[in-house]
Every structure is written in structure tokens, then in C-alpha cells.
Structure 1
Amino acid sequence: MGDIEPYIPFFFVCLISTILVWVFSKSSCAKSHIPPTPFALPIIGHLHLLLSIPHQALHKLSYRYGPIFRLFLGSKHSVIVCSPVMAKEFLKTHEHVFLDRPRILATDYISYGNKGLVVTSYGPYWKFMKKIVMSNLLNRKTLDMLSSVRHKEMNGFINSISKKARVGGAVNLGKELMKLVNNVISTMLMGDKCTDEQEDVADDLMSLVADMFQASGIFNLSDYIWLFQSLDLQGVGKKAKKFRARLDVMLEKIIKEHEEARKHGGELKDLLHILLDIEQDESMEIKLSRENIKAFILDIFLAAIDTSAATMEWGLSQLINHPDIMKKAREEIHQVVGENRLLQESDIPNLPYLQVIVKETLRLHPAVPVFIRKSTEDVMVAGYHIPEETLVFINVWALGRDPNHWESPHEFRPERFQGKENELDVRGQHFHILPFGSGRRMCPGISLAHFIVHTTLGTMIQCFDWKAGKDGNLQSVDMEEGYGLTLTRANHLVCVPVARIDPIPFSM
């Protein structure tokens, strides 16, 4: 008790100050056109309202406080956006004010001081990195060059599932899809996995990425409550430093192997090879450092693996629960592709029903349910005053379920995208479906995700029937959501695959 007594007056001052601030902010709300807000607790503000799954909690609050409302997350001012009309105001009309992202302790450590494209502040360096990504790394030419990598890994995935089907074994599809995307991204980034040691490195990276996602998804009190900024109460900073150290050892080894191969004239066709070329290009306006390269590699892993795997897992879950839709998709694939070869990336444009299944999956289950921006100046948005340094949470999950824009918004109905609605796309132009964001800071990996998700989901439909549960005796699967940065299932999808065609002869 003696250790606490000196701090008691300090805590009382904080408590009284918080109450006074709240009282005065309430009385001046009408005058200053501030968005409505729920009652806030001292010190923590509204953090207690986000103890459940945040995007669901924010959606429920919007029923009471409207499509735009204000929260205090500890000492951080924030605005929550839950309607397409309001999202357009922030992401298009006033986009120039909301191009920054807040710095978070965990990602700050992990991303080498925010040197990657995803989390760095908007400015000359961000523009330089975005230009590199779009013109050199994730453009159509590079993706076409690496299509054989994706084809090879897809064949390996389907063959692995086929072996399970032959013995009637259950498959944890969440883990298998994570492994597939990990293999695709690892090989695109670092080259063919021709040795057991390289495969072990890829597996270690997948495990590390999962740990990083978990650490980044924690609502860290030190990020939001000024009183705790210098403290690491939840151990998030300690974990992030440990993950960063592990990551650095792996990435340094991979980069050195590439540099050694380049010295001996090795012809490497992967993204790291392209990055090392850029590093040595003296004509570049900004010199790429070793940490820039490592941060970008991490960006690709964090942005692609969990998100793509989760989308495919949700998509197959919905198809199992809607066998009529599964049947219709299979009939389309049979008509276009047949049963004498596996579905390829080049088939996607000729499979419109598969495309609308993916759109509907992204509408109901956006990989990142909430994304965050930060205002860089004071601005009036939709009649409300938004101060500088305000955090803006765009609830993408809520946008996809807005009853003003979607009929029966909670139902899985791919047909809604057919006909006149077929013009809706997911590339940030339609604010009631924004799974990849919008504007200048939208996800640059849309085309890569498009290839991976459509081809994998389509091939799973083509090759197998799926019986839910470890014994294959469930009539349906639960659709409970998990907690984290990515919208994952609370429980991984476990199924028994039943082979419809033998894919092995087609993939030899």
C-alpha cells in the first residue's frame, strides 16, 4: 500500500480532469458541431465498449448514435464511420486530410520504424514506395512472370487434399489455406523452395507472421492512454521486439543468399531480386536501404497471407451452407473448364458466377473489417468539426451490411451482383463495398489477391465435395467471427473432402 499512496493524489487529479473535460465537451457539443458520443468513463474513455469484437460493437453503436459518432479511446479522439455516404466524405471528398495512418507501438517495432508501405506516413517516401510497388513489383507484367509459381503451388495444394480424400481424412482448411498462400508468397518473394531448409524458413515465416498479427491485433493500452505511454503493461512492446529480432535473422539470411547467387551470375526471378536491383540503381530519387527491403517483405507477408486465406475459408464456409449456390458454381466450371484439366487463372474472366461469389464473400466478410486513418488538419466533414490528429475508423464490415444499399444485407446471395449490379467492383469506387480500401492508400495487392482467391476457391469447387466436421456429419458450419486485425473465423473450417475428379494426372 505504501508504494501506491504517493500516486493517489495524481489519480484523483486525472479523474476530476476527465470528468470536467467530459462535462464541458457535452455542453459545447451543439455549438461546435461535434459528432454525438456515448457516455465516457474516466481515463479509459470508451475502450470498454470494444472489449467484444470491435467491428460488431461499433456497428451496434451506430444504431443508436448514427452513421458517424465520436469515441474517446483513452486519451485519443476518434470518429467512427459506419455508412457508405459518410465513408465517401472521408475517403474521397476530403481524402487529402485523411491519408495518414496512426503509429502503433507493435507495428512501429515490427516494421523497422514504419519503413514499409502499409503503415508509413503519407509523403515523399510513401509515394516513392508506392511507385516501386505498382511499377515494378505488383504490376501485371511481374504477376504474369510469376504465374507459374502460383500454378505449381496450387497443384501441390490440390494434390495434398486429394491424398486426404483417398483415406477419408479430415482437413483443417484454415491451416491448409494459410500454408498455400504462405508458399505462394514465399516463392514469389524468395524463389523456388528447392531444399528442406528453405521450406523450413517459409514455415517459420508463416508462424512468425501469425504471431505478429496476434500482437498487432491487441488493443494496447499504451497506444491510447497517455498515462501508460511509457509503460508496457500488456507486454506488447516486448513481444514485438522479440518478433522483430526473429524476423531480422531470417530475412538477413535470405537476402545474403540472394546477393551471393547474384555474384555468381544466378538468374533469379523473384520479387527480392527486383528489390535488390532497385537498391543498386543509382538513378532512384530515394535510396532503398536494407531495412526498407525487409519492411517491404514483411508488408507482403502481413497483407497477403492471413487476408487471402481468411477470404477463401469464409467463401467455402458459405458454399457448404448454401449447396444450391455450390451446385450452380460447379456447373459453370464444368461448362467452361470441363473435367479434363484444372481451372487456371486464365479461366477467371469466363466464370462470372464464381466472380460474384467472391464479391459476395468480400461484402459479408471483408478481410480487414475496420481500417484506420488519421486527420492531418482541422476539417469540416458532413457538417461536423473533425480536429487535427483525430483517428478515423472506417467500419468496412458495416458498409457491406448497410440496409440502405443492400437488400437482405445479412444473407449470402451472390446473384445480387448480377444484372445491373454487376458493375459494382471491389476496387474502391463503390463505397458500400470497400474490402481493399479506397483512394491513394487502398491495398496495392488487389490483382494478386484476385488470382489467388478465385483460382483456389474455384479449384476446390471443381475437384471436391466438402462434408463439414471432423467426421463429415455436420449439415452446416458455424459462421462465428474471431477477434483480430483480420476477419477470421472463430473456429477454423474442418471438412472431409470427397474427390469428384482425380486432379493428379492434370497437374503432373
Structure 2
Amino acid sequence: MATSSLLLTTPFDRLISHAEYNRHIKTIEDFVTPFIHRTLAIPPDELEKLTKSDTNFTFLHNLARFTQDPKVIRDQLIAVLLAGRDTTAATLSWAFYELAVCPDKVERLRAEVLEAVGRDETPTYEALKNMKYLRYTLQETLRLHPAVPMNVKEALNDTTLPGVNGMPDIGVCKGDFVCYAPMTLHARRDLYPNVSENFADPAQFSPE
């Protein structure tokens, strides 16, 4: 399936001026293109030698391993830059919001950070990966406040979605739009264990 965007404005697309939009796209492309060319100039054998532990290894290097097509690299890079900025900002804002009313969770998270990184050190990739409570905190934030609360997919081919509880599969024809809402899904109490001493109310913020 492919994500369908601007569903509401598509019928009127030809009536809308895209001059300003195209100017902004060109500005972005002018910014990223030199980085792409610089990375593609690296010999393939040198790219293969780079690993995630290298300080100069980036997402761009990984893309260059996958393809040498500058257009594909540009599209992937811009998608990450644009989609990553707003979603990261929103997730961090909601995390601070939830932590602001949970001093016990702040203390536990702070203790983990101090133990793994210290007061003055720069966190490494390995340190971030090993901080489990930090990961649980961000995952719980995304459960209650998903960065994409609702999304729509368009079927590229005829397919089926699996049925539940013995029900038959759901047929989806090519071109059909399927809407799903993570925010609603994550709030469904029937998908969680019963509330107990070991499992908090799903409506509450609980990294544990």
C-alpha cells in the first residue's frame, strides 16, 4: 500500500498555484544536493568499510550503499528531514508534558541517564541504545500521543486484510483507501491486560 496525501485538495489541484511551493522545493534541493554529490563521490569500497560505530557514518552513507541514484537518495533524505522534524518536536513536547506531572518517573529516568552518560558526557549511540527506561518513556509517549494519529493508505494491488476471531479476510481492491487511527487503536482497553498492580490503566502514562 502507498500513503495517500492531500486527498481533500486533489480534485482542485489544477486550480491551485504551485509557484511558491516549487520555489521552496528548489531551496531544499539546493541545500541537500551538494551533500548527495559529496557522498556519491566516495568509492564503493570505502563506503562498505564504514560502520555505525564510526563517528562520521550517517544515514546518507547508508543510502549510498543501497543506491547510486541521486534522485532516490534525494527523495529518501528529504522525507526523513521533513517528516522527522515535526514528529520529533511533537513527541518530545508530549514527553515533557507527561513527565511534568510524574516526578517519580522523572527521577527514575534521570538516574538512568546519569548512570549511562553522566552529567557532562555526550551520549553515544551505544549508551542511547542501552537506556531501556528512556526507550520505554518515548514508546509510551508515542502510544498515548502518536506522531501520526491518523493515516490513509491506498492499495496498489488487489489484496486482503486478515480477519479476526474466526471472521473471513477483508477484501481490498486496487485503488481502495484504507484509513486507520493509531490514537484510537492505542486507547482500546480490550487490547490490554486487566488493570492490576503490575499493569497500569491504559489511559495513564506508564513507561513501566
TM-score by length of 1: 0.31
Residues 358 and 377 of structure 1, relative CA distance in 2, 3 Å threshold: same
Which AA in structure 1 matches 2:89? Answer: A
Confirm whether residue 392 of structure 1 aligns to residue 178 of structure 2.
Answer: yes
Pairwise CA RMSD = 3.6
Which AA in structure 1 matches 2:73? Answer: I
Which AA in structure 2 matches 1:356? Answer: Y
Alignment of 1:327-342 (within 5 A): 327-335=107-115, 338-339=118-119, 341=121
Which AA in structure 1 matches 2:8? Answer: L
Confirm whether residue 246 of structure 1 aligns to residue 39 of structure 2.
Answer: no
Residues 238 and 222 of structure 1, relative CA distance in 2, 3 Å threshold: farther
Equivalent in 289, 296, 303 of residue 69 of structure 2? 289
Alignment partner, residue 401 of structure 1: 187
Residues 354 and 253 of structure 1, relative CA distance in 2, 3 Å threshold: closer
Alignment partner, residue 314 of structure 1: 94
Residues 241 and 393 of structure 1, relative CA distance in 2, 3 Å threshold: same
Equivalent in 359, 375, 385 of residue 139 of structure 2? 359
Equivalent in 201, 205, 208 of residue 412 of structure 1? 205
Whole-angstrom distance in 2 between the partners of 1:259 and 1:324: 46
Which AA in structure 2 matches 1:362? Answer: L
CA contact (8 A) 2:152 2:178 kept: yes
Which AA in structure 2 matches 1:392? Answer: V
Query: What SS does structure 2 have at the residue aligned with 1:393?
Result: strand
Residues 260 and 289 of structure 1, relative CA distance in 2, 3 Å threshold: closer
CA contact (8 A) 2:39 2:60 kept: no
Whole-angstrom distance in 2 between the partners of 1:250 and 1:239: 17
Query: How far did 1:405 drift?
Result: 2.2
Unaligned segments of structure 1, at least 5 residues: 1-98, 105-218, 280-287, 416-508
- Tell which structure's C-alpha radius of gyration is larger: 1
Alignment of 1:75-154 (within 5 A): 99-102=1-4, 104=5
Confirm whether residue 304 of structure 1 aligns to residue 88 of structure 2.
Answer: no
Query: How far did 1:341 drift?
Result: 4.4
Query: How far did 1:306 drift?
Result: 2.4
TM-score by length of 2: 0.67
Query: What SS does structure 2 have at the residue aligned with 1:392?
Result: strand
Whole-angstrom distance in 1 between the partners of 2:66 and 2:27: 25
CA contact (8 A) 1:378 1:388 kept: yes
Query: How far did 1:404 drift?
Result: 1.1
CA contact (8 A) 1:222 1:231 kept: no
Residues 367 and 259 of structure 1, relative CA distance in 2, 3 Å threshold: closer
Which whole-Å deviations, capped at 9, do the CAs of 1:329-353 have from their partners, x for residues lacking one? 2234445555474554433465433
Query: How far did 1:229 drift?
Result: 5.0
Whole-angstrom distance in 2 between the partners of 1:277 and 1:354: 31
Which whole-Å deviations, capped at 9, do the CAs of 1:151-210 have from their partners, x for residues lacking one? xxxxxxxxxxxxxxxxxxxxxxxxxxxxxxxxxxxxxxxxxxxxxxxxxxxxxxxxxxxx
Confirm whether residue 372 of structure 1 aligns to residue 145 of structure 2.
Answer: no
Tell me the percent identity: 23
